[in-house]
Chain A
Amino acid sequence: MYAFTFHRPATARQAAGLIAKKEDAKLLAGGHTLLPTMKQRLASPGALVDLGGCADLKGIERKGRTVVIGAMTTHAEVAASPLVQEAIPGLAYLASHIGDPHVRNRGTIGGSVANNDPAADYPAACLALGATIVTNKRKIGADAFFTGLYETALEEGEIITKIVFPLASKAAYAKFRNPASRYALVGVFVAKRGSDVCVAVTGAGEGGVFRWPEAEAALKTRFTAKSLDGVKASAKGINADMHADAEYRAHLIGVMAKEAVARATGK
Chain B
Amino acid sequence: MATVSMTVNGKAVTGTIDPRTLLVQFLRENLRLTGTHVGCDTSQCGACVVHVDGKAIKSCTTLALSLEGASVTTIEGLAVNGSLHPMQEAFREHHGLQCGYCTPGMIMAAVDIVNRRGHALDEQTIREDLDGNICRCTGYHNIVKAIAAGAEAMGGKAMDRKDPPRQAAE
**Residues of A that sit less than 8 Å from B by CB:** 1-6, 8, 28, 31-32, 35-36, 39-40, 48, 50, 52-53, 76, 79-80, 85, 89, 92-93, 96, 99-103, 105-106, 181-182, 259, 262-263
Chain B's interface size range is 35 or more
Task: Give the chain A neighbours of B49 by CB distance below 8 A.
Answer: 102
Question: Do residues A105 and B56 form an inter-chain contact, with CB atoms below 8 A?
Answer: yes
User: Which residues of B are found within 8 Å of A262, using beta-carbon distances?
Assistant: 169
Contact present for A31 and B20 (CB under 8 Å): no
Indicate which residue in A31, A39, A96, A182 contacts B66 across the interface (CB closer than 8 Å).
A31
- Chain A residue nearest to B67 (CB atoms) is A52
B20 contacts across to A, CB distance below 8 A: 1-4
Give 1 or 0 for each of B5-28: 1 = CB within 8 Å of chain A CB.
000000000000011101000000
Q: How far is the CA of A52 from the CA of B23 in the complex (A)?
A: 15
Residue of B nearest to A84 (CB): B164
Complex Cα distance, B165 from A1, in Å, reads 39
| Neighbouring B residues of A93 by C-beta, 8 Å | 164, 167
**B107, CB-defined interface residue at 8 Å:** no
| Contact string against A for B residues 138-166, beta-carbon threshold 8 Å, 1 for contact and 0 otherwise | 00000000000000000000000111110
Q: In the bound complex, how far is the Cα of B20 from the Cα of A93, in angstroms?
A: 34
Given contacts A80-B116, A103-B43, 20 further A-B contacts (CB under 8 A): A2-B20, A28-B63, A35-B22, A36-B41, A48-B19, A50-B65, A53-B68, A93-B164, A93-B167, A100-B131, A101-B129, A101-B132, A102-B46, A102-B49, A102-B56, A102-B109, A103-B58, A103-B61, A262-B169, A263-B167
Neighbour of A6 across the interface among B19, B22, B132, CB < 8 A: B19
List of B residues within 8 angstroms of A182 by Cβ: 44, 131
A230 to B133, CA, bound (A): 40
- Number of A-B contacts defined by CB within 8 Å: 101
Residues of chain A contacted by B58 (CB below 8 angstroms): 102-103, 106
Chain B residues within CB distance 8 Å of chain A: 2, 18-20, 22, 41-44, 46, 49, 52, 55-58, 61-63, 65-66, 68, 109, 112-113, 116, 129, 131-133, 161-165, 167, 169
Decide yes or no: A263 and B61 within 8 Å by CB, A79-B163, A96-B163, A101-B109 being known contacts.
no
- Are the C-beta atoms of B68 and A31 separated by less than 8 Å? no
Residue of B nearest to A2 (CB): B20
Say how far A179's CB is from chain B's closest CB, in angstroms: 11
Chain A nearest CB, measured from B2 CB (Å): 6
Known: A6-B2, A35-B61. A52 touches B163 (CB 8 A): no
Q: List 17 A–B pairs whose Cβ atoms lie within 8 Å, in order of A's numbering.
A: A2-B20, A3-B19, A6-B2, A6-B63, A32-B43, A32-B61, A36-B42, A39-B41, A50-B66, A79-B164, A80-B116, A80-B161, A80-B164, A85-B165, A92-B164, A100-B44, A105-B57
